[in-house]
Chain A
Amino acid sequence: MWNPYLPLAPRERRILGITSVLAVLLIWAGLSGTGLVGPAKLPTPWAVGSAFLRLCWDADRGESLLGWATVYSSYRVFVAALLVVIVGVPLGVAMGASPRVNAALSPLVDPFRSAPVVALLPVLVLWLGIEEALKITFLFLGAVVYLVPMVRDAIVAVPRVYWISARDLGATPFEAVRLALVPIAMPRIADAVIAAVSIMWTYITVAEYVNATKGLGQLIQNAKRFSAMDQMFVGIFVIIALALVTYQIMTRLKQRLFPWETSI
């Protein structure tokens, strides 16, 4: 009988996953390969495959377009992620630990969770120009408005008894936050950082729309200009793959750093 708690053997899970991916690939190949949908709208999988190889190594130019685009985009996401963590985590902790700070800052942070950060882009261009600062700032803003409330909620979710106990055992209020609330909230804070970085990968194309000279967003833009559907697909797939890889790395790192969390 079916039930929602059914444990699934890893083998069965893998087979089901691979089957559904293969099914989509088959449908795709069927639609494009038989000419049911024209190459201007949907390239064939093998066209995308050969475009991928060409972008990986362009023999005429003697360089890897895809490689450089990946390096630039990753670099931007990395710098923005660093800034988001440095600014967002302390801010979220302060808001979670102090109702006063929260009352003062939440009207500035919370509305932006549902505000279209993308709509801010033209304004940011006016303020920051079109160079690197704009791209990093855009990624930063897009992610930090999610990170800060999540970090705050992670701190607030720590049961009060840990605060009482730490204070009872000699911790000052500041120490109780630093030595008890933050360490206990760390796995959830790490989840927030992981989510923030995932959001950045979805924003990277937008960030690289303006004055695109380097990066995966530029690669997609460029391909669009020359109606090279196959190359656009390559760009999209590479971004998805990079987002998945960063997610996997960060999740592993989280398990390594907080082994106690999984033992609960």
Chain B
Amino acid sequence: MTEPVAAPAPAVDPASPAAPAPGAVGAGLIELVDIVQRYPQDGGELTVIDGVTLTFDKPGIQVLLGPSGCGKSTLLRMMGGVRHPGVASPTSGTVNIDGEACHGPHEDVVMVFQRYANRPDLTVEENVRFPFRTKLWRSRIGKAEQDERTEAILEAVGLKDKRSLYPAQLSGGQNQRVALARALVLRPRILLMDEPFGALDAQTREEMQALLIEIWKGFPCQVVFITHDVDEALLLGDRVIILSTQPARIADDFVINEPKPRNGIWLQSSLANELRGRVRQMLHQGAA
């Protein structure tokens, strides 16, 4: 289904970190095979996801775009190995991470949530260092490297001078930076982001989008990024997958070979307008 968009001037530069060659970095491989999700509802059943098959094998930012309530978070939680209490997830189908069926939290996969989930009882630095409190990462990463990684990521997200503040003392954007740093300090091969900038005001959202692009160059990985915002999908996506609603199926799937960062001016370009039209049409068809 992947179909490269005919860009007027192919803006692909193999050396550019925005479009690295496949396998050039240690990005993880995600396979969703025939995913079906049903939830019990009013005595009957509600089919939320109906046969989604997807492969993410090229490193970059993969955007899952769909209207609210279409099942994006459900899909992302499966990739993160999060089980719903009392409901089988997925109902049928398999999720493979690096070729192996995923049944729970995977050490190469880290999630970032819309509401940050920063620990209120830990300072910024303690939040970022939290993974190193677990036996798993303490045994893998020595103290010196923990320090070095923490400093590097605090620098990258621009929170060095806020390190001893608590999350309650930070703005929404700063909180999302903490969440991003805490995820990236593990150098995950797969980063799952569920509408991470959805709770932010427009200007902070733009700043965070630019930051994500910049940070990604320093820590390239497989990013699966969920949004319901068409422009956000166009700005960030190396590939955009559009989900229809009730039940969710893949309505469209295309690659954007444009260098990043893309800005507001690019969003007015003829290519962006064409893509936006295409996306809007697919979302409308899905809703109909």
Q: CB within 8 Å of B: which residues of A?
A: 161-162, 164-172, 175, 179-180, 183-184, 186, 258, 260-261, 263-264
- The answer on a CB contact under 8 Å between A168 and B82 is yes
Contacts of B110 in A (CB 8 A): 168-169
| Chain B nearest Cβ from A177, distance in angstroms | 12
Is B186's CB under 8 angstroms from A169's CB?
A: yes
In chain B, what residue has the closest Cβ to A258? B121
Could you tell me the distance in whole angstroms from the C-beta of B231 to the nearest C-beta in chain A?
Answer: 27
* CB-based contact B119/A184 at 8 Å: yes
Residue interface mask B35-46, A partner, CB < 8 A = 1: 000000000000
Task: Pick out which of these stretches binds chain A: B130-138, B147-155, B278-286.
Answer: B130-138
5 A/B residue pairs, CB under 8 Å, sorted by A: A168-B80, A169-B182, A170-B107, A184-B119, A260-B120
Asked if B121 contacts A179 (CB within 8 A), the reply is: no
Contact of A169 among B120, B134, B168 (CB under 8 A): B134
The answer to whether A260 and B105 have CB atoms under 8 Å apart is no
Please tell me if the beta carbons of B134 and A179 are within 8 angstroms of each other in the complex: yes
Answer yes or no: B216 CB below 8 A from chain A CBs.
Answer: no
Does B115 sit within 8 A of A, measured CB to CB? yes
Chain A residues lying within 8 Å of B81, measured Cβ to Cβ, are: 168
- Whether the Cβ atoms of B121 and A260 lie closer than 8 Å is yes
CA distance A161 to B186 in the complex (A): 19
Docked Cα-Cα span, A264 to B111, in Å, equals 25
Shortest CB-to-CB span from B30 to chain A, Å, is 15
Contact of B119 among A162, A164, A172, A264 (CB under 8 A): A162
Specify which chain B residues have a CB less than 8 angstroms from the CB of A164 in the assembled complex. 82, 111, 117
Contact A161 B105, beta carbon cutoff 8 Å: no
B254 in the interface (beta carbon within 8 A): no
Q: Is A169's CB under 8 angstroms from B130's CB?
A: yes
Q: Is B219 an interface residue when CB atoms closer than 8 A count as contact?
A: no
Nearest chain A residue, comparing its CB with the CB of B167 = A260
B56 within 8 A of A: no
Q: Is the CB of A184 within 8 A of B120?
A: yes
Asked whether, in the complex, the Cβ of B115 is within 8 Å of the Cβ of A169, the reply is no
When C-beta atoms are compared, the residue in chain B nearest to A164 turns out to be B82
Q: Decide if A165 touches B111 in the complex (CB within 8 Å).
A: yes
Shortest Cβ distance from B150 into chain A, in angstroms?
A: 14
Q: Contacts A175-B134, A179-B133, A260-B120 hold; do A168 and B168 have CB atoms under 8 A apart? A: no
Chain A residues with Cβ under 8 A from B115's Cβ? 161
In the assembly, what is the distance between CA of A180 and CA of B118, in Å?
11
Task: Quote the shortest CB–CB distance from A171 to chain B (angstroms).
Answer: 5
Flag whether B169 is at the interface (Cβ < 8 A).
yes
Chain A at the B interface: mostly helix, strand, loop or mixed? helix
B168 and A260 contact, CB distance less than 8 A: yes
Asked if B135 and A172 make an inter-chain contact with CB atoms under 8 angstroms apart, the answer reads yes
Closest to A169 in B: B131
Question: Within the complex, what minimum Cβ distance (angstroms) separates B67 from chain A?
Answer: 23
- The residues of B that contact A167 with a CB separation of less than 8 Å are 82, 104-105
Most chain-A Cβ atoms within 10 A of its Cβ — which of B131, B134, B166, B186?
Answer: B134
- A-facing residues in B88-111 (Cβ within 8 Å): 104-105, 107, 109-111
Contacts of A180 in B (CB 8 A): 119
Q: Are B169 and A263 in contact, CB atoms less than 8 angstroms apart?
A: yes
CB of B195, distance to nearest CB on chain A (Å) = 14
Residue numbers in B under 8 Å from A175 (CB-CB)? 133-135
Min distance, Cβ A162 to any Cβ of chain B, angstroms: 6
The answer on a CB contact under 8 Å between A264 and B168 is yes
A165 lies within 8 A of B113 (CB): yes
State the CA gap A168–B109 with chains docked (Å). 8
A263 and B117 within 8 A (CB): no
Chain B min CB distance to A256 (Å): 14
A261 / chain B contacts, CB cutoff of 8 Å: 120-121
Q: Which of A161, A170, A184, A258 contacts B131 (CB 8 A)?
A: A170
Q: Specify which chain B residues have a CB less than 8 angstroms from the CB of A184 in the assembled complex.
A: 119-121
Closest CB in chain A relative to B282 CB, distance in Å: 31
Take A175-B135, A263-B168, A264-B168 as given contacts and tell me if A168 and B119 are in contact as well, using a CB distance cutoff of 8 Å: no
Distance between A154 CB and nearest chain B CB, rounded to angstroms: 13
Chain A residue nearest in CB terms to B110:
A168
Residues of A within 8 A of B134 (CB): 169-172, 175, 179
B199 to chain A, nearest CB (A): 13
User: Which residues of the other chain, B, contact A165 by a CB distance below 8 angstroms?
Assistant: 111, 113, 117
Contacts of A172 in B (CB 8 A): 134-136
Are A170's CB and B136's CB within 8 A?
Answer: yes
Residue of A at shortest CB range from B77? Answer: A164
Bound Cα distance from A261 to B80, whole angstroms: 30
Select one of A161, A166, A179, A186 contacting B113, CB under 8 A: A161
By a CB distance below 8 angstroms, the chain A residues around B137 are: 169-170
Give bound CA distance, A164 to B186, whole Å. 16
Question: Which of A168, A171, A260 touches B166 (beta carbons < 8 Å)?
Answer: A260
CA distance A260 to B105 in the complex (A): 29
